[in-house]
Structure 1
Amino acid sequence: MPPATPSGSHQMRFTTLDRAQRVRFRRAVTLMLMTLLLPGSAQLVSGNRRTGRIALRTWAVLVLVGLGTLVASFFWHGVAFWAGTNTMVLQGLRIGLMVLAIGWAYLFVDAWRLGQPLTLQRQHRLAIVGVNGFLCFSVAGALLFGAHVVGVQRDFMISMFGNGAAVDAHHGRYNVLLMGGDSGAGRWGLRPDSMTVASIDAETGKTVLISLPRNMQNFPFAEGSVMAEQFPDGFDVEGMYLNGLSTWALDHAALFKGSKNPGVDATIMGIEGITGLKMNYWAMVNLEGFKDLVDAVGGVELNVRQPIPVGLPWEKTFHYIDPGKRKLNGHDTLWFARAREGSDDYSRMARQKCVMSAMLQQVSPQVALRNFEQIAGASEAMVSTDIPRGEVDRFVDLALKAKSQKIATLSLVPPMINTAHPDIALVQKKVAAAIARAEGAKPPAQETAEAAPAEEAPATTEAPVAEETSTPAAQPSPTPTPEAPQSVTGGSVGSMAEGYAANESEDLGAVC
C-alpha cells in the first residue's frame, strides 16, 4: 500500500502551478503592452532580436520625424500646409501608414506567439486572445483609417486644383476673382450670379472684398486683351451686362485661341478693366453645391434682420427664416444669400458678403478636421478653380491670417456708382482707396481732393478716411446725439438710395 500523500503537499503543488500560470499570463500581457508602447521591444527581449532591432529603429525614426514636423509646424505653419497639399508627400504618407499598419499588426501577432498561449489556462488563453485582437485591430484600424483620410485629401487636391504655373503677387497682393453660378442645366459657368474680387495682402492676409453688380454696363476691358480689341469703346452691347460676358465669349470661342475657359477669361478681362486690378486666379462656386459645404461644417450662424423666404410659395417646404441669430443649414443659408422677395440685387450682394464672412470666421480647423471627408466631397463638387496645387498651402496660410482680422469691403453699386454708365475713373479710385485703407496707408491724393469740399478750408489727411467710414470730420456734432435708427431692406442694413452697410465697411463682421 503506497504511503499516503499529505494533503498539504497537494495544496502546495496546486499553489505553485497557479502561480506559474499567473506569471506566464502576466508575461504574455506584458509582451503585448511592450509592442503597443515600443514596437519591437517584445521581440528584442524574447524573440527574433534582428526583427526587434529593425522595428525599434523604425519606430525611433518615425517618432523623431513626427516631433520634428510638429516643432517645425509650430514655428512655421507653412510646413504643415505644404505637407497637407503636396500630392507626392500625401501619397508617400498614405503608403507609409498602410505599411506601418501591417507591420504593427504582425508584431502584435508575434508577441502573442511569444507569450506561449497554449501553456496558459483556458480563461487566460481566451483573455490573451481578446486583448491581442483588440490591440491589433485598434492600432491597425486607426492607421488604415488615417491612410484613407490622407487618400481623400490627395484625391481632393488632384481633382480640385491643376498643375498650372504660379503667378506672383501684384504690388504685394493676390487678387482672386470669386464667381457664383447656378448649377441648372445649361447654366453652370455660363452666367455668373455674383462676382467678387478678393484682394489679399501677400504677407498679412488682410483681405478686401470688392463686389461687382452683375448688371453693370458700358465698361472697358483690360488693355491689350481680346475683348478690348472687340470692344474698343467698352462693352456697349444692347441688353448685355457684366454677367453676360461669359455667354458672349462661349458664342465666340474661336477668338480665345488655346483657352480652356473662354467665358471665365472674358469675365476676367472685364473685371480687370473695371477695377484696374490684375487678377492672379479665379474660382467658380456652384451655388447649389454650396449648401452641401454648409451642411458638412454643421451649419452657419447668421444675423437675420427680416423674415427671409425659403423656397417658392407653391412648394410644400416653403417657409420663412425668422429674425434673430439663427444657425442655418445649407438649404436655408443658400436662400438667405439669394432670396429676391422684398430686396434688390444690392441687398442680396450685402447678404452674400455676410455669408462669406460668417463662413470664414466660424469654420475652425477643429471643425474642418472632424468633418474633413464631407467637406472635401462637398468642395470637390462645389468649386472649379485655376489655383495650382503648389499655391494651395500659401492661400491656406493667408486664410488663417485673415480669420483673425477685420474684412474690409467695397461694392461698386448705387448710389456711389451708376451701373448703367459707370464712372470708371471713380471706380478705380475707390478700389485703390479701399486697398490703401486696408493696408493702413493714406488714400490716394486725388481721393483726398475729391472728399474735401472746395469752399471749406483744406482738410487734414485723415478727413477722407473719416468721410468714407463715418460722419465727416469737417462737421463734428457739438454734443452727443443718439444714433439714428438703421433702415433695413431685404434683410440688409441700409437701402439702395443710402447704400448698404455690408457693401462698404471697414469691418464686415460688425455690420453683419
Structure 2
Amino acid sequence: MTDRERDFGLGPSLGLTLGSALLWGVAHLATHRHRTAFVLMSAQILLIAAILTVVTAFSTQLLSLAVQPGWMTGLALILAAVAVAWVTVIIWSYMLVRPAASGIPARALAAGLAVSLCALVLAPTAYAARMAYVSRDLVHHLFAGNMGGPVVAEDPWSGAQRVNFLLVGADSAPNRPGVRTDSMTVASVDTATGATTLLGLPRNLEEVPLPAGPARDRFPYGFTGDGGSTPGLLNEVFQYAEDHPELVPGVATGRRGPALLKETVSGVLGIPVRYYAMVDMKGFAEMIDAVGGVRITVEEPIVYGKYREGLLQAGTRRLSGEEALWYGRSRTDSDDYVRMGRQKCLINAVARQADPLTLLNSFEGLATATKRAISTDVPQDLLPALVELAHKVRDTPIRSLNFVPPLISTADPDWRLIRHKVTEALRPVTRRPATTAAGGATPTASPEDPVTLDKTCG
C-alpha cells in the first residue's frame, strides 16, 4: 500500500469508511481504483434491485416461504453470502483509507467504526439464521410428513371445489381426566375464491352416529359413552377413541381421537372433513399474547372466572390472551350457544388481524406457543398452498351456521336436517334485490337462508 493511498486524516477516513458501507466503492474511488469502484457499485445496485423486485413482485409469496424450511435455509445462506461480501467491502475500504499518522486513538476510532459497521451488517444475517432454525423446528414439530401422497403444486387440493377443516378447541383440566373437545367448528373453504362458511357443532349433541366399522358396531344407535359414568356427548368422542384403540384399529396413540372425530363430524354434516387442527385453550391464550393481543368488540359485559372474579366491559378494545380466552369460553350468565357465537367472532378476528408483518415480528414467541398449543394432520407439503388460501379467506366475508336450538335440538338432533342445511349453506350465495330509499336495488339475503355473516369483531 503506498503512502498516497494512506494519506487520509481521521475525518476523511471515517467518512469514506461509512460511505463505502452505504455505497460500495466510495473508498476505491477516493484511492483512484475506478474500475474496482465501478464493479462494486454495479454489484450493489443489482443486489438492491433484486431485493426490491422480490419484495414488491412476490410479497404474497414471502409468507409461503416462511413455512418451507428448505427455502428458509437457502435464504439464510444467501443472506450470509451477502453479509460476508458486505463485510469484506467494509474492511477493504477501511484498509485503503485508514489514517496513517494520526496516532493510536484516531486509528482505534476508525477501526472501531469499521467493526461497528460490520456488526450492523452481520446482525440481520444472524436473525435470519435464527428465523430459519425456528421455522424448520416448528414445521417439523407441528406438521406431519405428507402421508396422503405427493402434493401437486398446480392443483394442491386435488380438484376439490371446497376443502373442509375441523377446528377444535380442547379443554383439559387437572380435575378431569383426558381432553374434552368443547369447541368444534368445520371451516368449509372454497379453494378458488376463499369464501368460507363456518359450521358450528355444539359440544352437547347426544347419540351422535359413528362411522361404519368397529365404532358403529359398538354404538349402533349412536354414541353413548361409558354408560352412566358419562353423558355420551359429542365432545367425548375424541377421548373415547384414544382410550379404546380397538375402535380405530391400526391408528397410533394421539391420532385415534382426531381420526374418529373427523369421520364422525363428516357423517353428521354430510361432507368430507379432510384435515383437523386442535388448539389447547390455555395455549391459545399464549398465542394471542405472542401477537400482541386481538382487537374485539364486546357486545355486552362478560363475567368470567370460576368465582366470577373478572369482567370484560362492553366496547371495542384489544384483549390479552387471558381475556380473549375468557371471551371465548365463559358461560356465566349465558349458555353454550352464546359462547359458540363468540368463538366464531374470535376466530374471525384472529384470522383477519394476523397480518404477515405481525406474524414475522412475533414469529419466535408465536412459534414457541404454537408448539405447545396446536396439533394437526395438515401435511408439510400443503403449507404453501394453505398460506395462499388463507390470503383469499382474509379478503372474503366469513359466513356462519350453528346447529343449535331452535334449529337443532341437541338432545334429539335431526341428522337429516343438519345435512340438508349444510348443503344449502355451501351452495353459491343467492341474493334478491331490495329497494333502497333512492329507488335502487341492493342485495340482501333470503329470509329462509339460515347462514349469517360473522361479525368482524372490530
TM-score (norm: length of structure 2): 0.83
> Which residue identity does 2:238 align to in structure 1?
S
Residues 106-154 of structure 1, C-alpha deviations (whole Å, 9 max, x = no match): 4322322222433335665354234323312111112222322232222
Equivalent residue runs for 1:326-341 within 5 Å: 326-341=317-332
**Pairing partner for 2:359 from 347, 358, 368:** 368
Give yes or no for the alignment of 1:73 onto 2:67: no
Matched AA of 2:452: E
What is the rounded CA distance, in whole Å, between the counterparts of 1:295 and 1:410 in structure 2? 29
Unmatched segments (≥5 aa) in structure 1: 1-19, 444-462, 470-503
What's 2:419 paired with? Answer: 428
**3-state DSSP of counterpart to 1:196:** strand
How many residues in Structure 1 have an aligned counterpart in Structure 2?
431
Corresponding position: 1:418 with 2:413:
no
* 1:227 paired residue among 215, 221, 224: 215
Decide which of 197, 201, 211 is 1:212's aligned counterpart.
201
Q: Aligned partners of 1:383, 1:276: CA distance in 2, in Å?
A: 26
Deviations 1:303-322 (A, max 9, x none): 223332232328xxx22112
Change beyond 3 A, Cα 1:25–1:200 = same
Residues in 2 aligned to 1:270 and 1:295: alpha-carbon distance in whole angstroms: 33
How big is the shift at 1:162?
Answer: 1.8
Secondary structure of the residue aligned to 2:259 is: helix
**Residues 85 and 390, structure 1, Cα contact 8 Å, conserved in 2:** no
Give runs of aligned pairs for residues 66-105 of structure 1, distance below 5 A. 66-74=51-59, 77=60, 79-105=61-87
Q: How many angstroms does 1:298 deviate by? A: 1.6
Amino acid at match of 2:415: I
* Equivalent residue number for residue 124 of structure 2: 142
Shift of 1:381: 1.7
Question: 1:102-251, aligned counterparts within 5 Å?
Answer: 102-120=84-102, 124-164=106-146, 165=148, 166=151, 168=157, 171-185=160-174, 190-222=179-211, 224-237=212-225, 238=227, 239-251=231-243
Instruction: Give the aligned partner of residue 377 of structure 1.
Output: 368
Query: How much does 1:98 deviate?
Result: 3.4
- 2:292 maps to 1:305: no
Q: Is the 8 A contact 2:21 2:90 kept in 1?
A: yes
Residue identity matched to 1:269:
E
Q: Could you tell me how far apart the structure 1 residues matched to 2:444 and 2:220 are?
A: 34
Structure-2 change in CA distance of 1:70 and 1:302 (3 Å): closer
What are the Cα deviations for residues 228-265 of structure 1, in whole angstroms up to 9, with x where unaligned?
44434433555311111122212221342332311111
Q: Distance in 2 between matches of 1:140 and 1:162?
A: 34
Which whole-Å CA distance do the structure 1 matches of 2:175 and 2:248 have between them? 21
Contact 2:349 2:457 (8 Å CA) reproduced: no
Root-mean-square deviation over aligned CA pairs: 3.5
Using the TM superposition, give the Cα deviation of residue 422 of structure 1 relative to its aligned residue in structure 2, in angstroms: 1.3
Measured after TM superposition, the shift of residue 358 of structure 1 is 1.6
- How far has the Cα of 1:56 moved from its partner? 7.2
* Residue 15 (structure 2) pairs with residue 29 (structure 1): yes
- CA distance in 2: counterparts of 1:287 and 1:509, whole angstroms: 22
- What is the CA–CA distance in structure 2 between the aligned matches of 1:228 and 1:196, rounded to whole Å? 23
> Any idea what the Cα deviations from partners look like across 1:267-293, whole Å, max 9, x if unmatched?
111101100110111001011011111
Q: 1:467 aligns with which of 431, 434, 447?
A: 447
Partner of residue 455, structure 2 = 509
Q: Residue deviations 1:34-89, cap 9 Å, x none?
A: 24323x77569869999989977875775465344335415xx3x32432221111
Q: Identify the residue that residue 435 of structure 2 maps to in structure 1.
A: none
For the residue of structure 1 that corresponds to 2:249, the secondary structure is coil
> CA 1:88–1:341 in structure 2 vs 1: closer, same or farther (change >3 Å)?
same
Which is strand-richer, 1 or 2? 2
Aligned to 2:440: none
**Does the CA contact (< 8 Å) of 2:346 and 2:457 recur in 1?**
no
One-letter code aligned to 2:181: P
Gaps of 5+ in 2: 1-5, 433-442
Alignment partners' CA distance in 2, 1:46 and 1:244 = 78
Query: What fraction of aligned residue pairs are identical, expressed as a percent?
Result: 31
Change (3 A) 1:206 1:196: same
The DSSP-based 3-state class of the residue aligned with 2:80 is: helix
For residue 326 of structure 1, give the secondary structure of its aligned residue in structure 2: strand
**Amino acid of the residue matched to residue 333 of structure 2?**
G
Quick check: 1:36–1:135 contact (8 Å CA) kept in 2? no
Counterpart of 2:202, as a letter, is P
Q: State whether residues 7 and 100 of structure 2, in contact with CA within 8 Å, keep that contact through their aligned partners in structure 1.
A: no
1:319 partnered with 2:310: yes
Instruction: Work out whether residues 181 and 189 of structure 1, in 8 Å CA contact, stay in contact via their aligned partners in 2.
Output: no
Match of 2:436 in 1: none
Q: Deviations over 1:371-393 (max 9, x none)?
A: 22222222222111111122222
Between Structure 1 and Structure 2, whose CA radius of gyration is higher?
Answer: 1
Is the partner of 1:440 in helix, strand or coil? coil
Q: 2:249 aligns with which of 257, 260, 272?
A: 257
1:393–1:189 distance in 2 versus 1, CA, 3 Å: farther
Equivalent-residue separation in structure 2 for 1:177 and 1:296 (angstroms): 24
Q: CA deviation at 1:157?
A: 1.9
Residue identity opposite 2:54 in structure 1: T
TM-score normalised by the chain length of structure 1 = 0.74
Q: Helix, strand or coil for the counterpart of 1:468?
A: coil
- Rate the CA distance shift 1:464–1:28 in 2: closer, same or farther, 3 A: closer
Q: Is the 8 Å Cα contact of residues 17 and 114 (structure 2) preserved in structure 1?
A: no
> More displaced, 274-283 or 327-336?
327-336
CA distance in 2, matches of 1:346, 1:62: 56
Tell me the distance in 2 between the aligned counterparts of 1:253 and 1:271.
19
Retained in 2: the 8 A contact 1:183–1:288?
no
Question: Secondary structure at 1:393's aligned position in 2?
Answer: helix
Distance 1:201 1:373 in 2: 31
Kept after mapping to 2: 8 A contact 1:170/1:278? no
